[in-house]
Every structure is written in structure tokens, then in C-alpha cells.
Structure 1
């Protein structure tokens, strides 16, 4: 499976996660949020009719492309989500569960080793630990790269109480990348005619900013084409590891029943910013997080859902608000027990 990638450089960024305070920011940006950002920019530039035409193949289960989430990178060294592990591993000397739990991302070479059946426990001792153990890289990949890829800071803000008009201080978390560091995303292009449009919209999203607090200057970045990467396609009788958030269709729920599956769920909420209507809260949905190990499904798999609010049985907006749970995934071979 040959994938096209794009690299994002700039910032700072603020990526909020439901259930966490504004002082906390994530170090990645999920695929459904990235897709929504594309739609938002298209609506702002070309209007509602362009959205209807753009979304038609997605709605009809013939997605012209599938995006991964935005993951960290150091130059051309790309990091992938760690596949979720099931149960307790047999640990080796000088390795703790705390050490393994801290690891969130693997370099491309280590990721390929893990998805082909090697155990992270065997890889961990000789791997280069970056970002305080959040990132792991192969020693040959990690030459001349910084051990601290990003730093987090807090920006002060002041708001006024609506009743008393007293000022109140609060902080938002921000993530700053080191030089030549940032994010990357991949796309499985299934319809070549969509590639120019996708490239154009990704650049527009970079100009407008991604994540929260864009009105205060956060999130702006330069977007350029990256390298091509090749990942093994999921086999029909095997397992897959997801590279984005996943929302299965009802007929796809058997993916959770395959032996060896392991996954985490996220509750997704947030606000709708529409050029035609006042801001409103999206309906809350639950999605499977990146790095989930699931039973393989035919591509494209996953569902689209309209998350506009409903009041007294009626939609709160005149147009759909799409959340894209169609997922990009790679084949995965589980490590042998005790390996």
C-alpha cells in the first residue's frame, strides 16, 4: 500500500482533548478533525455547493482518499502510533510497565518491526528514547536529531465574568516544535483526480491554522509534500492497526471479535463553527483511537456520521456536519507470547 505524505511545519499549536483542561495539549491531531478542517476551509472558500459535490463519493462509500492522523516527525523521520497491547507483557530486566506505557510513537523502522511480529519489549532496550521516552527510534534513524522534539508551554488569557465583569485569568497549553520538526500525515489516494484538490485544501488548512485558538495566532503552518511510504495492506483473515480514528459501521462491528484485538475508545465532542449559523455544540460520539489492533476489514472501512445538534427532533443546522470515521490501516502480526 503506497501512501503519499505531507509535512506540516510551524505553530505553536493547541490540540484539545475532551475531558482534559485547556492547559493540556495533545502532540498529535486526529484524522477526523483534520478531515473536518478540510471541509471547513472548502466551505469558506467555495460555499455549500462545493461541499455537496466533494462529499458525494464519501457518503456513497467510495471514498476517493483516506487520511491518517497528524503524527510527530523530525525532518523526514516519521513516527507512528504504538499498536495497543492486550494484557501484560513478560518484561525483561531493567524494563518496567511504566517505561512501556510512556511510549506513544515509534519511528518508521521500529513500527515496521512491531507490525511484523516483534515485541516492543525486545526492541525497547536498544531503541533511542526521545521526548522523555514518548518517542522511540532506531539508532541508525536517530543520528543527529534532537532528543527534545517539542516543548509545551502555557499562554495566559484574561476573560470577563458575564455578571460581575470581573477579570479572570486562565491558561491554554501550547506545543512548540524544534527546528525542522512538526507533523506528517499520509493519504491512501483511491481516486487520482482528487489529489490536486486534497493538496490545495491541506495548504489552505495550513494557512488558516489547525487546532484550537486559531484566532489568537495558533496553528498556522507550512504544508509541503513529503516522502512516499509503503505499508503492508491488511489481509482478510488477519489483524490491522489503525493510523487514524475509526468509527465502524454496524456491519463492521465483528472487527472487535477477532482474537488479539486491543483498542481504546474516545468520546468526541466540541463545537461547530459554521459560516451560516451561530456556533453550536456537536453531538457527542465515541470513536476508536489511533493504534487500535482490530480484525481486518475491506477498505474503505468506517462510517461517516452527521453530528449536527438535534433539538426537539429537528436538526439545529440546515446543512450536515460530517465526522469522518473512515480509517487508514496497516496489516499487523501480533508478537508471540513471551517473546
Structure 2
């Protein structure tokens, strides 16, 4: 039996800077993707555990059947005494969606919805699908008319109310000339409120974990490492106090259990996915006629070194396939850190996770 966990990252009044390839320091993402989360988390494990214990843990993830798979992080928002969990909208239309001339009245509003509240996601992709009531609400949203239907009640159009993105001025000082340069850094601030000396989180990030089998030792190890990561911070600008969070490690709520237990013939990934096996790639993108996907390039700097990891092309969250893809860990050690004779890393390999986590869905028949 699979063992799922829901993990919430509560940032309180701590801002965060989540860089993405190509957006520069002045911008920030509102969330952390699965490969970045894995890298930060596994680095925390390396600092927390003895070498033999860490090597044993890492070896498990390098196997074809990893002990746990994780999603990317997504935004949650506490509103009207309940948590709204947002999931990426799958790249295929939901069942009963009137694609074609029938969607011209509301497609402008539909395509802007990149993230769906869990209840809406469940309705569209696991229950009755797209309804005429949804159509009318989207038409009102397109026409900027007040709406009070199901989509509105669930928070479909209020995703960006969970956080604010701002910019702070910074000054860089040249080490040689002492010349100064003014620049701005983007920060995301999740909703919070203060009552007395206590800070209450109104929004934050969450992600899902699926353990292949019950393993209390592994779970405690990962939980301890994640708490350490929360104290150190995740993302950029940690030296300025950014990215600190507290961890809520929860059993899977009942609504989520319905989602993961659903039986269907399609799957949407909620993590990044990487695969280099030609036969598997051929099956995913050539032989799977129902596949619908997007590709993103992932790179980035190595912490503490002026070297970039090797670039990877990965499938993005929301991509849809006819079978649940597995993915794997990629070795992205820069060529400068490789021994020319042995063709092996001089110190230790640098990895990026392309291990996939997916959810079952049903979609519109073509």
C-alpha cells in the first residue's frame, strides 16, 4: 500500500527568492520546483547525517525504484476557515469541455487559469468534468462580471491573493575597485498575520510525498533534514534572511486520498520529469498519441562556486501521458569538475532529480 504525506512549508513573515532560469534577480517565482526541492533537501541530508548513512540514502534514490517520490511545491491559501490547495491545470481539456467554436466566449479566462483549486481540479478531471455552469462563470470572468458560482467559491480566480511579489534595492560592491552598483531583487511574500507575539500563516507552499513502502526510519530522517533546511532557508538571498520556513508533516487528508486513489487511463505529472532512455522517451512522446506536454530547460549555479550545472530539458508539471512515467536522477556535474582520465567527478557528483510523481485523471475524448 502506498504511503502518502502532505507537507506544508510555512514562511511566516520571511520573504523568499525563488530564481528561475532566465528571469534574473529582479524577478522571482512563487514556488519551488521538484528538482530544486530535491537538491536542497538532499544537501541538508548530507550536512545532517554521517557519510555512510548519507551514501546509503542517496544510493536508494539512484535506484530504478526510489523509496519516495515527491511533487513540486504549489501554493496553498487559508480562506474561510479552510485550506485551498492549488494544483497545475493539466495540459489536456477536462471531460465535456466544448473545445472549438464553443469555447470562444470564455477561452480567454480559461487559459489564464494555470492553477486550479483542488475541488475544481477534482471535479474537472476526476468527476463529472466541465459543466455548463462552469462555462457561464468563465464567460462572466471574461466579461469582468461579478460571479458567485462554484469556481468563484473555491478560489479559482483568486490564486494571486495568496502572495505578493515585490522588489528590494540592493547594493553590490566591487571587491577590487570598491565601486558600487545598485540593483533590485524580487521577493515573494506569502500571507501572514500577527496576533500578539504569534505569527499565523495564511498561505504558503505545500508538496506531496509518496513512499513506496512504510519506512518510519527514512521518514524521520527526511523530516529532520527538512526541518534543518527550514532553519537555513531555501532559494536565494538566504544571507539576507530569506527563505526560512517551518514544516507541517501531515497524513494525507480525506479529499486528497480520493484524488490519489482514483482509477483512470491518463496521468498528469505534478513534478518535473527527466528521462534519457531512448525507448522510454519514444514511448512517451512518439507512441503515446494522447500525450500532451511542454518542455522546460533547467540549469543553475552550483552553490559556493562560479560554475553552472549541466543543462537539462525536462517535462513540466501538468504534462499528460497514458501511463505514469517514472523518470530518474540525472548527473549534472560540470565538465570542469570531471577528471579527464577517469571521466568521473573529482570530488562528488552533482545530481538533479527528474523522478516523477503523477496523479490519475480523465480527459476530453479527441
- Shorter-chain-normalised TM-score: which range? 0.7 to 0.9
Whole-angstrom distance in 1 between the partners of 2:191 and 2:34 = 23
Of 266, 286, 310, 2:313 maps to 286
Partners of 1:56 and 1:181 in 2: how far apart?
35
TM-aligned CA distance change 1:163 to 1:324, over 3 Å: same
User: What do residues 202-252 of structure 1 show as CA deviations (whole Å, max 9, x unaligned)?
Assistant: 2222111111111211100111123512234687x9321001000124132
Post-superposition CA distance 1:175-201 (Å, at most 9, x none):
111122001111011132222222222
More helix per residue: 2
RMSD: 3.0
CA contact (8 A) 2:3 2:213 kept: no
Instruction: Provide the residue aligned with 2:289 in structure 1.
Output: 259
Alignment of 1:231-246 (within 5 A): 231-232=259-260, 238-246=265-273
SS at match of 2:161: coil
The alignment of Structure 1 onto Structure 2 pairs a total of residues equal to: 323
Q: Which residue of 2 aligns with 1:153?
A: 166
Q: Distance in 1 between matches of 2:71 and 2:113?
A: 19
**2:100 pairs with 1:78:** no
Q: Take 1:120 and 1:246, find their aligned partners in 2: how far apart are those partners?
A: 31
Is residue 3–residue 214 contact of structure 2 (8 Å, CA) maintained in 1?
no
Preserved CA contact (<8 Å) 1:308 1:315: no
Indicate the structure (1 or 2) with the bigger Cα radius of gyration. 2
Normalising by structure 1, we get a TM-score of 0.84
| TM-score (ref. length: structure 2) | 0.79
Give how far 1:270 is off. 0.9
Please give the residue correspondences for 1:318-333 in structure 2 after superposition, counting only pairs within 5 Å.
Answer: 318-333=347-362
Say whether the 8 Å CA contact 2:92–2:363 is kept in structure 1: no
State the alpha-carbon separation in 1 of the partners of residues 221 and 174 from structure 2: 44
Q: Is the partner of 2:166 in helix, strand or coil? A: strand
Partner of 1:167: 180
Alignment of 1:86-97 (within 5 A): 89-90=99-100, 91-92=102-103, 94-97=105-108
The answer to whether structure 1 residue 126 and structure 2 residue 137 are counterparts is yes
- Return 5+ residue gaps in structure 2 as ranges: 193-201
Q: 2: CA distance between counterparts of 1:149 and 1:53?
A: 39
